[in-house]
Amino acid sequence: MSSVFITHKINTPEKQAFWALAFLFLSLFFLYGYFVQITIHTIIDRAGILQDTRNLNVKLGELESEYNAARTALTYEYARSLGFRELEKKDFAKRALVAQNTVNTF
């Protein structure tokens, strides 16, 4: 029994197409892995950001409560006891007008 082996010589355009498709497939595989990794890191970072937001909201609530307590403690009587007094004559800062808007009545 004789066996005949038929060999097919790959032409240059077919070879180039094969390597181009192989490179494209490999590139897509690595890009897929990269984007999956970026997505995972984004999800992990989002969990941390949400925790930071919760902590900041708690701190904000504490500061607002301190502010409200201090605001209710400040009265005219308390200010007078510290030596503050109301001015009898109130002067406001004034400046000269450089230009003035006029209304044209034509």
C-alpha span between 70 and 64 (Å, rounded): 10
From residue 51, how far is each of 36, 44, 57 by CA, in Å?
Answer: 23, 11, 10
10 CB contacts (<8 Å, ≥6 apart)?
A: 18
Buried b (16+ CB within 10 A) or exposed e, 50-64: eeeeeeeeeeeeeee
Whether this model's pTM surpasses 0.85: no
Q: What is the residue extent of each domain of the chain?
A: 37-84
| Per-residue pLDDT at 1 | 47
What tens digit of pLDDT does each residue of 53-83 get? 999 999 999 999 999 999 998 888 989 999 9
18 CB contacts (<8 Å, ≥6 apart)?
A: 10
What tens digit of pLDDT does each residue of 10-43 get? 678 888 899 999 999 999 999 999 999 999 999 9
